[in-house]
C-alpha cells in the first residue's frame, strides 16, 4: 500500500469508526470492525516533503486487524452501464396497516417503489434493472417502464424469498454476470438522492463493498430481559460516537457477495442486511455518509414525513 499525501492512521480494536482529521473533504468513513486475520502492513507517506515508511506486524491473527484510513484515497470511476440495480419490492409491510404492501401505496401520485426506480435507473452507471417482487405486482413495473421510468435500461424480475437474504440472492442470480457491481435498494426508501448513490458506487468500486449510512442521533442502549421476559432493563449504554444507522443502497462486487453467500449458507448464519454477508467473511465495508432524508417508509407517520420532504424539494426547485 502506498499513500503519498495525507498521514496514515492505524487503528486496532473490535468495534468503532475512525475519522481522519481532514475527513471533511470526503463523505466516506471506514468501518473499523473486521474479522479477517491480518499478518503485516507496510506503507509509505510523504511528510514535509520527505517519504516515510511505516510497518506493523501482528503477533496474533485471531484478533481484528488494523485499518488504514486516508482522506487522500480517491474513489475509482464507475464505468457506464457496469452496475446491476436490484430493487427489493417483495416485502409485506404489516406495520403500515394498509391493504397492500407499503411499497405500492401512492406517494404524491406515484407508487412508493417507483420513486427510487426512477432515481437510480436514471444514473448512467446503471446498466440493468432487476426487480424482486411478487409476480402479481410485476405490472406496476412494466407500466413504469412504458412511462420511461427505467430510462431505457432492460428490466427483468426475480421472485422474493422467505427472508431478505433469499430475495437478494434471487435478484443476484438474475443479474448479468458481466456487471462489476450490484446496487441493492429497498423500494420503501423513495427519497434517496442520486449524488449519494453515485458516491456509494464509487466507494464500492474502490473497496469492494459500500453502504449508505447516517450517524446515529439517538442514545442507544443495549437491553436484557428481566424475569419472564415481560420486562427489559438496560444492560449498557452504547457509545453513540461509534454508531451508524444503515440505509440503502448497499453496493457490492457480485463475486464478493456470492462468496459471502456461500459462507453464510455453510455456517448457517443469519444476516439482516446485505453488507453483513460481506462482514461475515471478514471483508471491509465502507460507509458513505447519506442524507437523513433517505428514510424508510414503514408507518403512516413515515408516509407523512416523506410527503413533506418531497414538497420541500419541489418548492426548492420552483423557487
Task: Quickly list DSSP for 198-247.
Answer: HHHHHHHHHHSEEEEEEE--S--EEEEEETTTTEEEEEEE--GGG-EEEE
Contacts of 248 (CB under 8 A, 6+ apart): 184, 185, 186, 189, 192, 211, 212, 274
Mean pLDDT, residues 55-66 taken together: 35
Mean pLDDT, residues 292-313 taken together: 96
Q: 18-27, 227-236, 297-306: lowest mean pLDDT where?
A: 18-27
Beta-strand relationship, 221-226 and 231-237:
antiparallel
pLDDT band, very low/low/confident/very high, at 6 (cuts 50, 70, 90):
very low
pLDDT band, very low/low/confident/very high, at 149 (cuts 50, 70, 90):
very high
pLDDT band, very low/low/confident/very high, at 13 (cuts 50, 70, 90):
very low
The rounded percent of the chain whose pLDDT value lies above 70 is 75
- For residue 72, is pLDDT > 90? no
Distance CA 143, CA 102 (A): 18
- For residue 12, is pLDDT > 70? no
What pLDDT is recorded for position 307? 97
- For residue 121, is pLDDT > 80? yes
Distance CA 143, CA 271 (A): 33
Burial class (CB in 10 A: 0-12, 13-18, 19+), 62: exposed
Task: Quickly list DSSP for 76-102.
Answer: PPPPTT-EEEEEE-----GGG--SS-G
Beta-strand relationship, 83-88 and 126-132:
parallel
Mean pLDDT, residues 101-114 taken together: 96
- For residue 247, is pLDDT > 60? yes
3-class SS of residue 21? coil
- For residue 4, is pLDDT > 90? no
Residue 302 parent element (H or E): helix 300-318
What pLDDT is recorded for position 56? 36
Q: 59-63, 136-140, 169-173, 197-201: lowest mean pLDDT where?
A: 59-63
pLDDT band, very low/low/confident/very high, at 107 (cuts 50, 70, 90):
very high
Look up the pTM and report it. Answer: 0.77
What pLDDT is recorded for position 248? 98
- For residue 49, is pLDDT > 70? no
Distance CA 151, CA 153 (A): 6
Q: Which residue has the higher pLDDT, 37 or 203?
A: 203
- For residue 190, is pLDDT > 80? yes
- For residue 37, is pLDDT > 70? no
* Mean pLDDT for the chain overall: 82
Distance CA 299, CA 102 (A): 9
What pLDDT is recorded for position 228? 76
Mean pLDDT, residues 152-179 taken together: 97
Count CB neighbours of 179 within 10 A.
Answer: 19
Contacts of 65 (CB under 8 A, 6+ apart): 12, 34, 36, 37, 38, 58
pLDDT band, very low/low/confident/very high, at 151 (cuts 50, 70, 90):
very high
Burial class (CB in 10 A: 0-12, 13-18, 19+), 210: buried
Q: 18-22, 31-35, 122-126, 267-271: lowest mean pLDDT where?
A: 18-22
Query: Which region holds residue 297: left if phi is over 0, alpha if psi is between -120 and 50, else beta?
Result: beta
3-class SS of residue 62? coil
Model confidence pLDDT, tens digit, residues 192-221? 999 999 999 999 999 999 999 999 999 999
What pLDDT is recorded for position 11? 34
What pLDDT is recorded for position 53? 44
- For residue 10, is pLDDT > 60? no
Distance CA 20, CA 26 (A): 10
Q: 86-95, 204-213, 237-246, 294-303: lowest mean pLDDT where?
A: 86-95
Domains of the chain and CATH, by start: 9-69 (no CATH), 83-208+247-318 (3.90.550.10)
Amino acid at each position: 500500500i502506498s499513500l503519498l499525501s495525507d498521514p496514515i492512521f492505524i487503528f486496532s480494536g473490535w468495534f468503532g469508526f475512525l475519522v481522519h482529521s481532514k475527513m471533511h473533504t470526503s463523505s466516506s468513513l471506514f468501518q473499523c470492525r473486521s474479522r479477517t486475520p491480518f499478518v503485516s502492513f507496510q506503507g509509505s507517506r510523504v511528510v514535509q516533503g520527505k517519504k516515510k515508511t511505516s510497518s506493523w506486524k501482528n503477533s496474533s491473527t485471531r484478533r481484528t486487524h488494523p485499518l488504514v484510513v486516508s482522506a487522500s484515497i480517491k474513489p475509482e470511476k464507475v464505468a457506464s452501464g457496469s452496475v446491476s440495480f436490484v430493487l427489493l419490492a417483495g416485502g409485506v409491510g404489516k406495520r403500515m396497516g394498509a391493504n397492500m404492501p407499503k411499497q405500492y401505496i401512492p406517494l404524491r401520485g406515484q407508487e412508493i417503489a417507483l420513486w427510487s426506480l426512477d432515481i437510480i435507473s436514471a444514473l448512467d452507471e446503471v446498466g440493468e434493472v432487476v426487480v424482486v417482487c411478487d409476480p402479481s405486482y410485476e405490472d406496476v413495473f412494466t407500466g413504469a417502464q412504458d412511462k420511461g421510468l427505467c430510462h431505457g435500461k432492460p428490466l427483468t424480475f426475480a421472485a422474493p424469498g422467505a427472508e431478505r437474504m433469499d430475495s437478494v440472492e434471487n435478484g443476484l442470480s438474475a443479474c448479468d454476470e458481466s456487471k462489476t457491481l450490484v446496487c441493492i435498494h429497498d423500494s420503501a426508501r423513495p427519497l434517496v438522492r442520486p449524488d449519494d448513490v453515485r458516491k456509494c458506487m464509487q466507494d464500492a468500486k474502490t473497496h469492494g463493498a459500500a453502504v449508505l449510512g447516517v450517524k446515529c442521533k439517538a442514545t442507544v442502549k443495549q437491553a436484557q430481559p428481566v424475569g419472564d421476559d415481560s420486562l427489559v432493563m438496560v444492560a449498557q449504554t452504547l457509545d453513540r460516537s461509534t454508531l451508524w444507522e444503515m440505509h440503502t443502497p448497499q453496493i457490492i462486487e457480485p463475486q464478493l457477495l456470492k462468496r459471502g453467500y456461500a459462507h453464510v449458507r455453510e455456517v448457517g448464519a443469519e444476516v439482516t442486511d446485505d453488507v453483513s454477508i460481506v462482514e461475515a467473511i471478514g471483508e471491509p465495508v465502507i460507509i458513505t455518509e447519506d442524507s437523513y432524508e433517505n428514510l424508510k417508509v414503514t408507518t403512516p407517520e413515515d408516509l407523512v414525513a416523506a410527503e413533506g420532504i418531497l414538497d420541500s424539494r419541489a418548492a426548492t426547485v420552483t423557487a
